[in-house]
Amino acid sequence: MLGLDRDGRILLANPRAEALLAGEDGLVGRRLGEVLPEAARLLERAAEAGAPVEEQLRLVRGGREYVLLRATPQMEEGRLSGFVLTFDDITELIAAQRQAAWAEVARRIAHEIKNPLTPIRLSAERLQRRYAGRLPEEERAAFERAISTIVRQVDAIGRLVSEFSAFARMPRPLLREEDLVEVVREALELERTRAPQIDFAADLPPQPLRLLLDREKMVQALTNLLKNATEALTEAGTPQPRIEVRVRREDGCAVVEVCDNGPGLPPGERHRLFEPYVTTKARGTGLGLAIVRRIVEEHAGRVELADRPGGGTCARILLPIRHSEA
């Protein structure tokens, strides 16, 4: 919340506003147009209306993105004396609305694209069986390469459709008491097998860390994080590529860290990387991290991305340690 005089100079700022806008310079005594130029017009509208006005504003600060601003003019003896400006953080609400909209898009894409894939593949294979043996030798190789390309690309589209379907129709988690250490070990072994060129290091506690979770979904979330790290290292051509996985307790939560020594997070709007179809990879759908976030939030947890000291990226999953009541 901010209190301002009639000229838009800040007279009062609560700690939340200071943290959101001030940096190291403080707010009191500065003009709103200096610290938040996007909101200057809102004061003019409130003064003209003589009543509170609201505006949704895209304001990227500290990982938060959207705020709802409300400017209320303060009147004394019928004359404008100042304003009260309040902020409501609606980042999570906007993200939830986007996710629901993208899930519907994914459902429709999966439905429309999946239907013709099987007849395309079967037709290509039928052409190969029927005509490959009839062609002259000099034409047969080109024909078989073309058929192979069709089948390969149909399979690639099929994998994309499967990702769309997984995101759009993700079932509710079936929570059971599981050992998170074993779940992490399972995901790690799967990725070790898939990417033997990567040096994987695990720092896992010797004792079980039991909590309520859906084992299959959590393995999927961890696999997506490991796959992201592997692909980042491979695309960047990182020498001596390494992924470190840690599990520990922290403030009543179970924490899983996946850190790599790759190129690190891109500059700019990093907070958008968890949104569907946002990707920094040359050949990505942008669903991997969106699925991770959805799974983790279904477990009442959260997932974070940060720079790794010395270079690279760290992804952290934080899950509340809950146990079965049975």
Q: Is 326 inside any structural domain? A: no
Q: What are phi and psi of 175, to 5 degrees?
A: -85, 125
Q: Is 260 inside any structural domain? A: yes
Both tokens of 191, joined, read: 């990725």
Same domain, 55 and 102: no
CATH number, domain of 286, equals: 3.30.565.10
Same domain, 8 and 34: yes
Return the minimum-mean-pLDDT range out of 133-142, 220-229, 281-290.
Answer: 281-290
Question: What's the pLDDT band for 326 if we cut at 50, 70, 90?
Answer: low
What would the pLDDT profile of 155-201 be if each residue is shown by its tens digit? 888 877 777 777 666 677 889 999 999 999 999 999 999 999 999 99
Instruction: Report how far residue 233's alpha carbon sits from residue 227's, in angstroms, rounded to the nearest whole number.
Output: 10
Task: Give the residue from 125, 144, 168 where a domain finishes.
Answer: 168
What would the pLDDT profile of 198-221 be if each residue is shown by its tens digit? 999 999 999 999 999 999 999 999
Same domain, 207 and 292: yes
What would the pLDDT profile of 221-249 be if each residue is shown by its tens digit? 999 999 999 998 998 899 999 999 999 99
Same domain, 246 and 280: yes
pLDDT in the model for residue 261: 95
Residue 95 predicted with pLDDT over 80: no
**Spatial contact of 168 and 106, defined as CB atoms under 8 Å apart:** yes
pLDDT in the model for residue 110: 72
pLDDT in the model for residue 44: 85
Task: Give the residue from 89, 117, 147 where a domain finishes.
Answer: 89
Mean pLDDT of the chain: 84
Same domain, 205 and 159: no
Question: What's the pLDDT band for 19 if we cut at 50, 70, 90?
Answer: confident
Q: Which residue has the higher pLDDT, 171 or 296?
A: 296
Q: Which residue has the higher pLDDT, 38 or 182?
A: 182
Residue 283 predicted with pLDDT over 70: no
Residue 125 predicted with pLDDT over 60: yes
- Residue 279 domain boundaries: 176-320
pLDDT in the model for residue 191: 94
pLDDT in the model for residue 29: 86
Residue 17 predicted with pLDDT over 60: yes
pLDDT in the model for residue 285: 61
Beta strands in the chain (DSSP E): 2-5, 10-13, 53-61, 64-76, 79-89, 176-179, 199-203, 210-213, 242-250, 253-260, 302-307, 313-320
Same domain, 255 and 135: no
Q: How many domains would you assign to the chain? A: 3
Task: Give the residue from 89, 110, 143 where a domain finishes.
Answer: 89
Quick one: which of 258, 196, 192, 263 has its CA closest to 222? Answer: 258
Same domain, 190 and 229: yes
**Spatial contact of 180 and 254, defined as CB atoms under 8 Å apart:** yes
* Mean pLDDT, residues 288-300 taken together: 88
Same domain, 77 and 100: no
Percent of the chain with pLDDT over 70: 86
pLDDT in the model for residue 20: 74
User: Which phi-psi region, left, alpha or beta, contains residue 275 (left: φ > 0; alpha: ψ -120 to 50)?
Assistant: beta
**Spatial contact of 208 and 181, defined as CB atoms under 8 Å apart:** yes
